[in-house]
Amino acid sequence: MEAYGPFTQKLWQGSLPIFNQITNCQFLKQLTKGTLKKENFAHFLTQDILYLKKDAEALGMLSKRAKCENEKVFFSKLERDGLEIEYVLENEYLKYFELEAASFQSPAFLEYSEFILDQSTNSPYEMALIALLPCFWLYSSMKIHTIEQVVDNNPYQKFIDTYSGDEYRSYTKQFLQIVEKHGQTCKDENQAIETFKRGMQYELNIFIEAIKIETPKQ
């Protein structure tokens, strides 16, 4: 998905090397080919469920901090939808893939969760927005770079479809518009780029962690 304006374009360009690493990582390559080992997928899915709870909490904090009513409503909706996705993954997908829920967060997922919660609570509002944007922008962009390469009869198709719908891309577009608006008054552009890059790096870290798992961590 393209940037919405010059500010978001700078964010994307600053993290492009990390994005390229993500789209070329073994986890995603094996996921799209349907060759990913079940224990690697199990780690990612069960950890994603725990992460989504934290992500929803962070989005809820953005809603509380927003001064614009439209932004309050938008982030409140993202919070609710995130919890709904988490509920479906936990109550439907675990059964579908015959997996047990994780009882605690793994190092990479925990580090990412702590980052977004800290940013959403303690950073200036515009920086908090930037910190939470990578997850949305990344998955929307992977629809073109990764998801469209999925093989037929992929055993993980049900999970892949979760993040490839038009609604998710619509959310990302609105998120980009909000970040672009606030970026026009950003006092530290370099910090903004570094914050976005950190978010993207955490995304890469969780894929790297997932592909290295040999047994599910419970």
Residue with token string 């950890």: 47
The reply to whether 218 falls in a domain is: no
Domain ranges, residue 122: 6-211
Q: Please report, for the domain that includes residue 126, its CATH number.
A: 1.20.910.10
Residue 218 pLDDT > 60: no
Residue appearing with tokens 């990764």: 146
- In which band, very low, low, confident or very high, does the pLDDT at 140 lie, cut at 50, 70 and 90? confident
Give the count of domains, the chain: 1
CA 181 to chain centre: 21
Helix (H) or strand (E) holding 147: none
For residue range 36-79, list pLDDT tens digits in order. 999 999 999 999 999 999 999 999 999 999 999 999 999 999 99
Residue 217 falls within a domain, yes or no?
A: no
pLDDT at residue number 216:
43
pLDDT at 214: 66
Question: Residue 40 corresponds to which tokens in the numbers above?
Answer: 């690697």
In a domain, 77, yes or no: yes
Residue 200 in domain: yes
| Domain assignment present for 1 | no
Q: Is the pTM of this model over 0.85?
A: yes
CB atoms within 10 A of CB 119: 22
pLDDT in tens, 76-133: 999 999 999 999 999 999 999 999 999 999 999 999 999 999 999 999 999 999 999 9
How far apart are the C-alpha atoms of 132 and 121, rounded to whole Å? 12
